[in-house]
Copies of this chain bind each other. A is one copy, B any other.
Amino acid sequence: MKAPAALEALTAALKRLPGVGAKSAQRFAYYLLQHDREGAALLSRALAEAVERIRHCARCNTFTEHEICDTCSSPRRDAAVLCVVETPSDQLMVEQTLTFNGLYFVLMGRLSPLDGIGPKEIHFDRLLARATDGTVREVILATNFTQEGEATAHYIGELLRARGLKVTRLARGVPVGSELEYVDPGTIAQALRDRRAVQD
C-alpha cells in the first residue's frame, strides 16, 4: 500500500518547514485534509502571494511589499539614528517599546562562520553604505545578546567606528520586573559594572 501521490507530495513539502520532521509533516497533512481544507486552501494562496509580493526594502533590508518599506519612507522618523537588528521580529520588538523613532537596518541573520554566514550573508556592505551616507550620526547595535549576536555587534562596531561613526550598544543589565535571586551571575556582574548614579 502506498499513500496517494498528492498526499506524499504535501507531506514532503511540509517537511521543508524548519524543525518539522516526517511525523509532524504527516500530522499536519492529515489534519488539514481531514479537519481544515479551507485552511489548507488559504495557506496555499497565502504562500503564493507572499512569495510573489514580499521582497526586501532597498534601504533597511526588512520584508516589505514595496521598493522602500513604510518605516524608511516615513517623514516622521529620525534618519540620524540607525538601529541594527538581526531579524524583522527583533525590529518589531524594538518598535513595540514606542521609544525609538530612528530608522533600522535588518541583517536578516548573524555572523556564524561555522554555518557559512559571513559579512556578505548579513549584507554588511549595504549596511556600510547606508551608515556612511552622510545622514546617519549614531548606529545602535541591537543584535541579540547571544555569542553570535555579540560577535556580530563587535565586528560591525569595529568597522563602523573606524569610519568615524558613533556606535552604541543596547544596555546590558537586570531585566525590568525580575528578582535578583533568579537572575544569572553574569547579568548581575554586568549590571554592577554598568551601574548608574541615582539621580534626584
Are B40 and A4 in contact, CB atoms less than 8 angstroms apart? Answer: no
Q: Which residue of chain B has its CB nearest to the CB of A77?
A: B1
Partner of A50, one of B10, B27, B50, B71: B10
CB-nearest residue of chain B to A29: B50
A171 within 8 A of partner (CB): no
CB <8 Å contact, B4 and A16? no
B88 A54 Cβ-Cβ under 8 A: no
A70 partner residues in chain B, CB cutoff 8 A: 1-2
Number of copies: 2
Interface size, chain A (Cβ < 8 Å): 56
- Does the CB pair A6–B92 fall under 8 Å? no
Which of B1, B46, B64 contacts A71 (CB under 8 A)?
B1
User: Cβ of A64: which chain B residues have Cβ within 8 Å of it?
Assistant: 4
Taken residue by residue from 87 to 124, chain A's Cβ proximity to chain B (1 for < 8 Å, 0 otherwise) reads as 11101100100000000000011000000000000000
Chain A: interface secondary structure? helix
Is A65 among interface residues, defined by CB-CB distance under 8 A?
Answer: yes
Cβ < 8 Å to B, chain A residues 31-59 = 31-34, 36-37, 39-54
CA distance A139 to B186 in the complex (A): 64
Greatest chain B CB density within 10 A among A40, A50, A70 is at A50
A145 beta carbon closer than 8 Å to chain B: no
A181–B109 CA distance with the chains assembled, in angstroms: 48
Q: Would you call A13 and B1 a contact (CB within 8 A)?
A: no
With A4-B65, A14-B46, A30-B89 already in contact, 20 other A-B pairs whose C-beta atoms are closer than 8 Å: A4-B53, A4-B63, A6-B49, A6-B54, A10-B46, A12-B46, A16-B36, A16-B42, A17-B32, A18-B28, A29-B50, A30-B63, A32-B50, A33-B63, A34-B108, A40-B47, A40-B50, A41-B47, A41-B48, A41-B51
